[in-house]
Amino acid sequence: MKASSSSYQLLPPDEIHKEWKLIRENYESALMREYTSDEYLRPKQNINFLSDYRDLQLELARLLVGWIPNIPWLKLKMDLGRQAYLMIQIIEIFELRLRELPGSKKQIGANERFKSLQKILAKALNIEDFLIGVFKVVQINFFQRLEDHLKECDPIADLPTIDRIETVLSILKKQIEWVDIWVSSYTVQNPEGASLRKDYIQNVFESLGGFHSNQVKQLPLSPYQDNKLQDAGIEPAQLEQGFSIVEEFKFIAPRITHGKLSDLLYQNFAEMFVPDSLGYMVFDMDGMPYEFYRDFIKQLWDECRHIAMGMRELEKLGIPLNTLPLNEVKREKPYTWYLARLCYTGEGCSFPRKLSAADAFFRLGFPSAATITEYDIADESHHVKYIERWLPLLHQKEECKESLAEIIEEVQRQSLSWVKNKSKLDVKNVKGKFGAFCKAIDFDIDFTAV
């Protein structure tokens, strides 16, 4: 039956949308009312828990990369990059669920209790104690909390949260197994030290309210002498014995790969300076948006993979890694200058060279070297985007007295003067011509020789 047009007036679509918005706002505030359910978590309670999990993982991820400079062993440096990346993945997994739940969400990383925890975890007698605090105490508490959380979810209504938690539990399980590689023999040799660390961090975690309370109690006294503790971000960044540390800039130092295609693999291997430098930056720079940390932790882990990729391919070619030059790394502050240099002289210029190299590796019968170079290009294209995205805000936060354009010009001028035999080129000749600038600073490579 047709509705009578005189008795029922249809609202135009934009009016309907306005009404819906009002209804939605009403419903969202109703869902946030102060009721409790003994049986299953309400959406509001889920939001609080998931937000806490997310905030904790962000503090831990920043802490892990802040400790990369403290670590001498290449393998563990790279592993920490990966573990920090996995913590960011956990945040992203819970974000998906939080977006589906009602009400306005807190900004990621605004949790002062977990910031305090991070500061305490950062100080440790040694690497093993540091890892025990983060993984054997905090991540294990997190694992146990998530197992409890699963039981608190309505199995039908809240199945999406169950799905997310199960995914996160599988990541945490791998993390907790991974850390044993690095701490199990220490724990056997030094059981008192390991349990002192565990008990202390457990007490700190509980005093800060853990996952169940925002109330902070009196923190336990530290059982350590403060002057014996390491803090994150040691300078210079540590590197295990047996590598060739040089004074001159590593990309102009003499090396067995110089002028050949394998120099591209050396450039991958020599990238540890990026995780060390980004580790300082991500740990030091407070108050940036979550996405800043997310992007640079991804970049940091990518560079760790590039190092491992370069190592594998160089070893296949029989090139000894310990003869290849590396530089000592310190904080490069302001970080605006560091990132501008990385983007506008290093990464941004590397694409033509890497594309030609991938092609040459395939033609000469080195498909795995070619393939890693293709993945390298894929990663690097994101790195330049991350840096372009964040440089203006970083520049503003660091209150640099030079404009961003002046900084970019100056880092290009500096890199021209570093490149041997090309110092006669002036930045004015290539100003505004990025391709010409990159050609001017590029490495000479014989694309027919490996």
Q: Which residues bind Fe ion (CB under 5 A)?
A: 271, 303, 306, 347, 380, 383
At 401 the three-state DSSP class reads coil
C-beta of 254: minimal distance to Fe ion in Å? 22
Query: Is 136 or 250 the residue whose CB approaches Fe ion more closely?
Result: 250
State whether the Cα torsion 202-205-209-211 is positive or negative: negative
Which residue, 134 or 308, is less far from Fe ion as judged by CB? 308
Burial 386-396 (b: 16+ CB within 10 A, else e): bbeebbeebbe
Of 303 and 313, nearer to Fe ion (C-beta) is 303
Cβ contact 292:390 at 8 Å: yes
Q: How far is the CB of 446 from Fe ion (least distance, A)?
A: 22
Beta bridge partners of 124: 230
The residue type at 348: G
CA atoms within 13 A on the CB side of 379: 21
52 versus 271: smaller Cβ distance to Fe ion = 271
- Residues 176/170, Cβ–Cβ less than 8 Å: no
Nearer to Fe ion, 60 or 264 (CB): 264
Residue closer to Fe ion by CB (options 59, 347) is 347
Which positions ≥6 away from 289 have C-beta within 8 Å?
Answer: 393
172 or 343: CB nearest Fe ion = 343
**Shortest approach of Fe ion to residue 380 CB, angstroms?**
5
Asked if residue 71 lies in contact with residue 238, where contact means CB atoms within 8 angstroms, the answer is yes
**For Fe ion, which is the closer residue by CB, 260 or 383?**
383
**In the chain, how long is the greatest CA-to-CA distance?**
90
In the bound complex, what is the minimum distance in angstroms from residue 264's beta carbon to Fe ion? 11
Give the Å distances, CA to CA, from 188 to 56, 85, 126, 132, 182. 29, 29, 15, 13, 12
Torsion of Cα atoms, 223 then 224 then 225 then 230, to 10° = -160
196 or 377: whose CB is closer to Fe ion? 377
Residue 365 backbone zone (phi > 0: left; psi -120 to 50: alpha; other: beta):
left
- The residues with which 150 forms a beta bridge, in sequence order, are none
Min dist. Cβ of residue 376 to Fe ion (A): 6
**Minimum Å distance from CB 405 to Fe ion?**
23
Nearest to 136 by CA among 60, 55, 67, 69: 60
Task: Closer to Fe ion by CB, 252 or 377: give it.
Answer: 377
Q: How far is the CB of 321 from Fe ion (least distance, A)?
A: 17
Contact of 374 with 303, CB cutoff 8 Å: no
- Output the smallest distance, CB 77 to Fe ion, in A: 14
The residues facing 244 across adjacent strands are 325
Smallest distance, Å, CB 382 to Fe ion? 8
Q: Where are the alpha helices (DSSP H) in 68-190?
A: 74-100, 112-122, 127-131, 140-152, 159-189
Query: Rounded distance, CA 284 to CA 294, Å?
Result: 15
Q: How far is the CB of 303 from Fe ion (least distance, A)?
A: 5
**Strands, E, within 305-411: which ranges?**
325-326
